[in-house]
Amino acid sequence: LWKAHVEDRPVAADDFEVATNSIDPQAMGEGDILVELLYLSVDPYMRGMMRDSKGYYRQPFTPGQPLSSRGIARVVRAGPGVGSGFEEGDVLSGMLPWSSHAILNRRAQAALQLVDSRLLGKLPLPCFLGALGAPGMTAWAGLKKIAEPIKQGEVAFVSGAAGAVGLVAGQLLKTKYGCNVIGSAGSNEKVALLQQLGFDAAFNYKTTDTAEALTQVAPDGIDIYFDNVGGPTLDAALAAARPHARFLACGAISQYDTPEDSRYGVKNLMNVITKRIKLRGFIVGDYAAELGGEFHEDMSQLLLAGKVKALQHVTQGLENAGAAFVGMMGGGNVGKALVQVVET
């Protein structure tokens, strides 16, 4: 359960509480399904739902109630009457409550879809919440809608590069688009991993000044910036941009724990004008209907062919979900941060 809103400090593991409740399968109504949760995703956007913010694009969590996020569940029992067509044994993905089991009515079922059975057993289940889920789609669709057309050899910079979105974005920029790719991340181990995965250059933003690093590895500037972190990193990227660069405003995690009125004020915005930079924000869900099918086909092929590697950081046990969220916000994850609720 979510305890109480947190406005101006990082969220801590004890801001979450574990509660035990029983579920009575006999109480299932017309069309309901009973599911057991297999995996839950912990995501940075949830931080905005943990404060009492009015202008955020999602409703805040309700104190005293379970949190929710994308997850994977198996149908244990389909109740009487006509539901959404899900059957016992089906593996589903979509928005789910943070609980070991849940009875879902038709409305809740509308936010779920069958996991592609052609890929079950060929790709690990957590992949459907990572490279083949919302983070992968964020990278894939963001590049398609905002950065394209991309010329081979263009210089692309990805921040948050060892995370769920960043790892996919960097690998796509390299293997699909033929870019010269630079990544930044918060530890030397992450930097080494980025180099192993084919990034042309990578640096630790905690020990190297980003503006200096960009001058060194991209002396002629950058054409594409995939921004996962915002703040001073965005300033450094604006300074390093070439004329007509494309900037994808995907996330600004460096500012998520700071109240709105004290967030970092970007200083180099004038570069957007003088360098004719295209700077565009986006939310992945906007592209789901238009591009979801194409993304799924293309990304599953890239994953099966080993052209994009999917990495997951799995925490065991629903009772550790709060700690998993806190760990992810602090940089403890490599690839997609997830919670495994039960053994599969």
Q: Which residues lie near ligand NDP (CB under 6 A)?
A: 43-45, 135, 138, 160, 162-166, 185-187, 190, 228-229, 250-254, 282-284, 328-329, 331, 333, 337
Contacts of 151 (CB under 8 A, 6+ apart): 223
**104 versus 253: smaller Cβ distance to ligand NDP:** 253
- Alpha-carbon distance of 191 to 193, in angstroms, equals 5
**35 versus 324: smaller Cβ distance to ligand NDP:** 324
H-run or E-run covering 185 = strand 180-185
Cα atoms in the 13 Å half-sphere on the side-chain side of 213: 20
- Alpha-carbon distance of 252 to 160, in angstroms, equals 10
Burial class of 273 by CB neighbour count within 10 A (0 to 12, 13 to 18, 19+):
exposed
Residue 233 C-beta: closest distance to ligand NDP, Å: 7
**66 versus 331: smaller Cβ distance to ligand NDP:** 331
Residue 191 C-beta: closest distance to ligand NDP, Å: 9
Helix (H, G, I), strand (E, B) or coil at 179: coil
Q: Which of 236, 245, 161 is nearest to 198 (CA)?
A: 161
Residue 134 C-beta: closest distance to ligand NDP, Å: 6
**64 versus 281: smaller Cβ distance to ligand NDP:** 281
**94 versus 166: smaller Cβ distance to ligand NDP:** 166
Residue 329 C-beta: closest distance to ligand NDP, Å: 6
Residue 200 C-beta: closest distance to ligand NDP, Å: 18
Q: Which of 15, 196, 249, 37 is nearest to 129 (CA)?
A: 37
**Does residue 149 have a cis bond before it (omega within 30 degrees)?**
yes
Contact 69, 41 (CB under 8 A): yes
**83 versus 163: smaller Cβ distance to ligand NDP:** 163
Residue 83 C-beta: closest distance to ligand NDP, Å: 29
